[in-house]
Structure 1
């Protein structure tokens, strides 16, 4: 897919996104993705040579190999959203092998999934595409549902099945978040000891975060703080939802903030809101990947391109998109993943 095709996919949003100049945080202050990102940024940290090798293997795989950008297929929704809701639209993905095949055929850097999915095909595929084992999940069979993340296995078992990295979710703001922070901190420490990279889903969960019809779970200021907590836990890569608003702290009236967050460090432009998320990832020392969101049908290709353009122009490291890809025929899922990757491969789409 070339530049003009991406412009066509973006439609009327194209000009505002592709010509935007960021005047909040200059790109010169950021640690931007690139082929030399491990040498330029990560090698100065406390990460061991084993972890550096694992991260490099993520960056070197798939259609984006050698660019410093990541395209990851995440399929943990069978637990997070129930198998029925996730796989009934396309039942071939009840079989874990097809999940891994989609990631490989789609040119992804890695596949992120559950212990069960990756263990079931580990001997066939662990050496063919990097595995990211998702350690914890919020299962939906408890009634009433809880905002809790439960460890489904150990870091050592993830290493045994050939994982390059481990992933975990923390529901910041939930009643259970303190326990999740402690568990994930311990798990990430062990993962680094074993030489694996770490990816943290930095999500917010609290019914009070919705107010006056606005969902502040996706506000730039609050997701930014979640990211900052994530890098404090030494996550190598932060996964976050694309911001859709700002001012959550002020609207809900809790925690602490500063007016400059809203007047100087961000605007209403989604690129600037996402750059504020990146600012909280130590200016990009930890890579920011945004999630692709739910499948909405016919408009998924355009939405995927939109999210990729926003992330890339903000200075982010890539996209982690699942349902938009696996809830459709495999050929169409591959095309969607390739569209995302083409945004990052396109030299005409630059950091704002």
Structure 2
């Protein structure tokens, strides 16, 4: 049994139901003989990875669905050995170098050099073989979180081995990508789906799953689907998880005002409570209590930058979007966000932001 996020994920570009113009452009790119490096960016849950894998299907056919996970070992300049997971098929690799922190340059230099220095050969003479390309695709997740050294190494790889490798960089924004990389890639923006797009997707899933609603009217269901989309900030992945959670709570989904309150995400509630605590009690003792909460969030694999971003938004909201407070909090959030990317102990920088926020709010 798989989650609806995976069960209903389109495998081909033709199966995508929104942003049709973008879909046609990607199909045209895949059909050309000169496939470029891509920088695919857009908000979380907009369907970036789904479109990338749909494009790979256009390039290579169903072979890209046969995935395996390999563990690669790298040695840093200080002779420290690091293990790194690589998701791959016969035609592509998917990596997240930013997981290695400041050692992401080692992954870029060693792994990509090994892949790119070998010419890809297709031994299949079958008429069914769709692969006509002699290059291998490498998908790099969280490209905007790569260090400047790693991005410089990436630029050299793109120049030297462009005959044997194509890079698809995935990021939420382009602000963290250096200009030389942007100039060597085709930028593809994937906007968040609209409320109507999400409502249509949820309506189709509800019919396939045979879900029951009360009241069972089209207007009530459409309003529920739009509310779920807004509650999930138009993040399609989160929307599907939220809708599946809602469907599992009872055989019939009761559509009323309180429906969405049943599917609040635990870690978001914890951060919201932390923000209220910071506003209410600006003391050293409360910083120590905040540290315990932050450790708990980090130990449950909530990314530090996600915690920082959510905490910032909650603090701004609690202060009624005051212009001066919003500006100061945002400036320091940006500072500590940069420090998170440069340092290794996330708790120090998150705790530093909490202390700074207390000073700003105490003025």
TM over 0.5: no
Structure number with greater CO (CA < 8 Å, separation at least 6) is: 1
Q: Which has the higher helix share?
A: 2
With the length of structure 2 as denominator, give the TM-score of the two structures.
0.27
Q: Please tell me whether Structure 1 or Structure 2 has the larger radius of gyration of its CA atoms.
A: 2
User: Could you state the TM-score of these two structures normalised by the residue count of structure 1?
Assistant: 0.28
